[in-house]
Amino acid sequence: MPIDIATALRDGSARLRAAGQSAPRLEAELLLGAVTGRTRAGLLAWSDQPLRAAAAARYAALVARRAAGEPLAYLTGRQAFRGLELMVGPAVLIPRPETELLVDLALARLPATPLRLADLGTGSGAIAIALALARPAWTLLAVERSAAALALAIANAHRLGAARLLPLQGDWLCAIGPGSLDALVANPPYVRAGDPHLRQGDLRFEPGAALVAGADGLAAIRAILAQARRCLRPGGWLALEHGWDQGSAVRALARRAGLRQVVTHRDFAGHGRVTSGWCP
């Protein structure tokens, strides 16, 4: 016998609550919205409408996967970032609010005049797209090693109208010419291999190559800094996201790479999250 929307939401909420999810009703609504194509308001307005068997089965499967801990963003295929709705999937990290600091810093410290800027390890394209939309005069290189991730970034750029975003498949700065950038930003892998957090929460499902960077978590940052001055023009700017306890180490690496005015910026939680510097 078919169930209606209200019953599906009630049952889904109960399953998610029992699994320990903190916002079971909201998540049930988002999952059912992903299945039916309805907004949360639409689900409430049509709460007595029966669900087709196929939709009910798909919804039940999504609820079960969420109850098992799979990230909500992967199940709905969507994640918000600075007011943008991005398509996401298991090939990319889920964009997080603390990464918005990278965008805010770039917008605050760089002029709105034409610039050439690279977003390294672009993933879903969140940083590059946000910058491209906020600064139409800038040209954004969205650099990504993973073909699957780059395809998702391209799809997001097209859907959101980021016309001046140029996708480039490559490993960090290897495919970028000398002295060709005014700035570069990156949210590279910075988790230490074996970190117990990798076995917890959303991190269990996210791509390990986008999370882990060697025994101390700094391998990717070292690789970027080793190439940064070759690619940046004189007066160019660099900003790298890193772990909350890595600021001192990243500042030392940036100074060793020849950057000047190196500083670590705090995120909304008060943690040192992004280190920036200028090329002499």
**Chain segment 70-81, per-residue pLDDT in tens:** 999 999 999 999
For residue 202, the model assigns a pLDDT of: 87
pLDDT over 80 (residue 265): yes
pLDDT over 70 (residue 269): yes
Top pLDDT among 187 and 197 is at 187
pLDDT over 80 (residue 61): yes
Question: What percentage of the chain exceeds 70 in pLDDT?
Answer: 100
For residue 1, the model assigns a pLDDT of: 66
Top pLDDT among 64 and 1 is at 64
Name residue, tokens 């609504």.
Answer: 29
Average pLDDT over residues 156-167: 95
Could you report the per-residue pLDDT of 105-124, keeping only the tens digit for each?
Answer: 999 999 999 999 999 999 99
For residue 199, the model assigns a pLDDT of: 87
- pTM score, whole prediction: 0.92
For residue 218, the model assigns a pLDDT of: 97
Query: Do residues 16 and 27 touch, judged by C-beta distance below 8 A?
Result: yes
Could you report the per-residue pLDDT of 9-54, keeping only the tens digit for each?
Answer: 999 999 999 999 989 999 999 999 999 998 888 888 888 888 999 9
For residue 2, the model assigns a pLDDT of: 80
What single DSSP character describes residue 52? P
Burial of 152 by CB count in 10 Å (0-12 exposed, 13-18 middle, 19+ buried)?
A: buried
Question: What is the Cα–Cα distance from 196 to 188, expressed in whole angstroms?
Answer: 19
Mean pLDDT, the chain, whole residue set: 94
Q: What is the 3-state secondary structure (H, E, C) of 72-138?
A: HHHHHCEEEECCEEEECCCCCCCCCHHHHHHHHHHHHHCCCCCCEEEEECCCCCHHHHHHHHHCCCC
Q: Which two tokens stand for residue 127?
A: 């940083």
